[in-house]
Chains A and B, each alone.
Chain A
Amino acid sequence: MSQANGYTAAHSRLQRVLHKLPLKRINWGRQLVISMPFVWLAVFFFVPFLVVFKISLSETAIAIPPYTALIELEDALLNIKLNLGNYLFLWEDSFYLEAYLSSIRIAGVSTLLALIIGFPMAYLIARSESRTRTILLALVILPFWTSFLLRVYAWVGLLKKNGLVNDILINLGIVSEPIQMLQTDFAVYIGIVYTYLPFMILPLYTALEKMDMSLLEAAEDLGCRPFQSFFLVTIPLAMPGILAGCTLVFIPAVGEYVIPALLGGSDTLMIGRVLWDEFSLNRDWPMASAVATVMLVVLVLPIMLLRNRKEAE
């Protein structure tokens, strides 16, 4: 009994000492380096978000900037006016809900398509010889050398009524009339998948490249047919890459504005477009801010939290 107590006492003393030790010599240079990303995130992400959030709680006004101030000091009277009307309106008008759901649908389908197209490409790159691998990787990254806007405009040229794709289809006799491709959801899917495919391929490639090929032989040796070993070994081992790639495609695709604006039709409803319309056409900055805040809180935060939990496991 007493011996056990003595031990516990000694142990806790030791722990106190051990806890104190590193505190005595803080390496400030190291702390600075570690804190840099956090400072960056705070200044360029969190503070702007707070500004947006602040605007979302104000009312529109014909002024510059076009919204009312939250805090006013008037005759020694501090007025704090928080306007929740924008959020209530978001909830009441089904248009916004539809826009959110439609964005999620379009982004979700695009992510799935990018995964289905990107996985075989990443697999091929990871399994090719080192020289071909470098060339293939360069080809994946090459589109980034051209402006994103130009590349989306290029698709307009390809998909329009008298564009390249329709010309080929008509000349081959597959269709007699040009197909309406531009200004449809189809064109939006093409645009998103095309634009974000590299963000899917690169993390997938990294995950697949690390995989030991003898694991597949081991799976076959233990009775797996190739498609079984694909699902039982390749997919689980590529899972970190799949999650990273899907996040990297899904999150920006949800808020995408340029692609639905240029390639989509008037009925292609995406939250990025709604946001832009509120902001520039209606000059309703508070409403636009509310839309943006809800998008961040409802869509992006859950995904981030989910990922953090996955990584913790």
Chain B
Amino acid sequence: MTSAKSPVSNKNPLTAPAPDLWRDPDARPFVFFDGVTKTFDDFTAVDNISLKIYKRELFCLLGGSGSGKSTLLRMLAGFEQPTQGRILIDDVDMAGIQPWNRPVNMMFQSYALFPHLTVEKNIAFGLKRQRLADVDIKRRVADMLDMVQLGHLGKRKPHQLSGGQRQRVALARSLVKRPKLLLLDEPLGALDKKLREETQFELINIQEELGVTFVVVTHDQEEAMTLATRIGVMNQGNIVQVGEPHDIYEYPNSRFVARFIGSVNLLDGRVTEDEPDRVRIRCNDFEPPVYLNHGISCAPNQEVCVAIRPEKMLISHEPPAQTDNTCSGVIEDIAYMGSLSVFRVRLDSGKELRVTQPNISRDSGARFTWNERVHLYWDVDSAVVLTS
């Protein structure tokens, strides 16, 4: 009944358009980090971060260990207080609001299920603190158990469950209080690969069904790419780039992001021509210039870095027709991965490039062999110029 009114109710929630409020400059952020800094003794975990997260988003904070992503999440939950700046959730300043009074629930990395309570009691724990009527608690716990498909395991203790089942109990427990904001700390970290993939889609389904805003912390870029509406890439206490998965992958704004998400070939060079509609870069490793069909507005002769994803490079025995965006080298190594093959090609300068080719036909993996001279080439819109 309520779902009929909900704007995201859709027969197929996976394909439902994400409410991309972040593209609207006037939209009201649901979570607002306003110049937040957190220092522990002399270590700066979070360094002056400003970030807006919108309603119904599934926002991923992606970064390595020590990047400050968990500290950011713990500040939202109220376990840490910012040293400077403020955090607004739904326009309310969270300063001085204790964890038990926040409209936020968290799913812990270790799941933190109470070992002395059954699955049902674990899920009912938060509702009992709200002093709801027993009937309501029972109903809501049963609904939650159904949603995570654990209805038959309600009487078990956490130690009698598998990792995947525990993960779902933890999710049910954090959702049962109907928080405005759900925080997930490495939600899939403890699951094996196959279970992760299944659970990823389940998480997205649940998020879209309930319309809760999710903030997910992860170090796994694949997880972030599949789950997120937007990703915030973190490094050393800073958010270095915020964007949709596609933007982060295709248009990284720095060497760090380009390298952190997926694999990439980075070529150092110097700008020789910079017009509004084109740019030419002379790379240190090969003669033919790199040519892009857009300007980058930089100083003449500026040193830049050209980033090309391995799958955007093409490989052939014959020299390509184009004179720009090409180089040649010798195949040093081949990894046959089934769906694609990965080639490591050493250029004459000694630089090594990584190229992947989809194995479209059955014998396409065998077309190239070790120590062969090959030509690499790419389109005018394949490369990205990085200035930092």
Give A contacts to B, CB under 8 Å: 212, 214-215, 217-225, 228, 232-233, 236-237, 239
Contact = CB atoms under 8 A, between A and B. Distances in A.
Interface string B94-112: 0000111000111011101
B173 interface: yes
B159 to A, nearest CB: 13
B115 interface: yes
Nearest to A217: B79
Most chain A CB atoms below 10 A, which of B100, B110, B126: B100
A122 to B, nearest CB: 18
A222 B108 contact: no
Interface residues of B, number: 24
Contacts of B78: 220
Interface in B150-176: 173-174
A233 B128 CA distance: 14
Interface of B: 77-79, 98-100, 104-106, 108-110, 112-116, 125-126, 129-130, 173-174, 177
B129 A217 contact: no
A239 to B, nearest CB: 8
Given A223-B129, A224-B129, A217 B100 contact: no
B99 A220 contact: yes
21 contacts: A214-B112, A217-B108, A217-B112, A218-B106, A218-B108, A218-B114, A219-B114, A220-B100, A221-B77, A221-B99, A221-B100, A221-B104, A221-B174, A222-B126, A222-B129, A222-B173, A223-B100, A223-B126, A232-B125, A233-B114, A237-B116
Nearest to B105: A221
Contact of B106 (A221, A223, A239): A221
A239 B109 CA distance: 26
A243 to B, nearest CB: 14
Contact of A225 (B100, B106, B113, B125): B100
Given A214-B110, A222-B129, 4 more contacts: A217-B99, A218-B114, A221-B77, A236-B116
A222 B110 contact: no
Contacts of A214: 108-110, 112
Given A224-B129, A228-B129, A215 B100 contact: no
Nearest to A214: B112
Nearest to A210: B115
Given A217-B79, A217-B108, A218-B108, A223 B130 contact: yes
A217 B115 CA distance: 14
Nearest to B129: A223
B116 A222 contact: no
Contacts of A233: 114
Contacts of A223: 100, 126, 129-130, 177
B367 to A, nearest CB: 53
B112 A212 contact: yes
Contacts of B109: 214
B344 to A, nearest CB: 43
Contacts of B105: 221-222
Contacts of A219: 114, 125
Contacts of B177: 222-223
Contacts of B112: 212, 214-215, 217-218
Nearest to A221: B106
Contacts of B106: 217-218, 221
A212 B110 CA distance: 9
A268 B113 CA distance: 49
